[in-house]
Structure 1
Amino acid sequence: MDQTGVGIDNAGRLTIDVRGAKRVDVIQRMDENGARCKTPCVHCFSGVPGADVYTEVSDPNWGKSRIVHTTQRNAWCDHATMMKWVEEVWTLAVLGCHMLMLNRLQVHKIESVKQHLVDICCTKVQYIPPGITGSSQPMDVSVMRSFKSNIQIVLGDGLAVA
């Protein structure tokens, strides 16, 4: 699961703005299952669960149907965000038993997350050794570059995406 902050230079017209914020934090996650089918992205917006932003992005008619939207106070992958990914993306994407390689982000090591993956999803969890995450993710630069380019296309050519 990769996380990136997307800085957007806008005039504050979007409902995802918080008191003039010029930054939208999102978590984007894409991968392929054993049949080489991409699993849905998860976009985690900065916002408090239950508040306006959460209500908006949780609406099934909001955004693309193939993207899972959620919020977290700092747009960070916490336990609830990770469990949402497991339940709404991983569980639906895998058939049979699989192995999932995760980096050592604290939320990946929570026992309840690991146990849910093992018990419900028939997924064995392995952790990437420290220091080699960058080597194991050679598509980071190209994926994030195209992601940010697509944001510019969707939101308008006048926006500066950092």
Structure 2
Amino acid sequence: MKILPYHPSVLAQAQLVDLINYCQNTEAHLAIKMAEQADIFAIPQVYQQSGGNFWIAQDAQQIVGCIALLPLDAHTGVLKKFFTYPPYRGQPVRLGAQLFDQLLNFAQQHDFTRLVLDTPAAETRSHTFYEHHGFRRITPNELAVAYSYPDRHSWLYELQL
């Protein structure tokens, strides 16, 4: 298993779309179209050239997980596109924790002091992960930065670093 910064290729793009579609639509039944997620088709410009990053986890040559950090300002970043296929969740692989550690280390090395995220209210498995890792639920008023998120009965979380 390798966790690497995203590098554009047709194969990587296709595998990433498959992973996100599976997690959002097949598994969670959120009915989110890829057309609503233009960032996935411009990862270097949206994430990597803005001072953030986008990581993929590969098992052999297959993308099995991803996570991204999108800067909002000099000190606040948004945790985005955090997905793993089910066999890689929890013990013994703990891919979610590995991906989150990669993002957290990057955020701390780049002087971010706060992470925020949005997640659908129905995604209780995600809520458990975030709360276990120190995030606390906040209101939109507590967000205190301009961040356009797709409100699908979303819950907002923050982590002070």
TM-score (norm 1): 0.32
TM-score (norm 2): 0.32
Judging by fraction of residues, say which structure has more strand. 2
Structure number with larger C-alpha Rg = 1
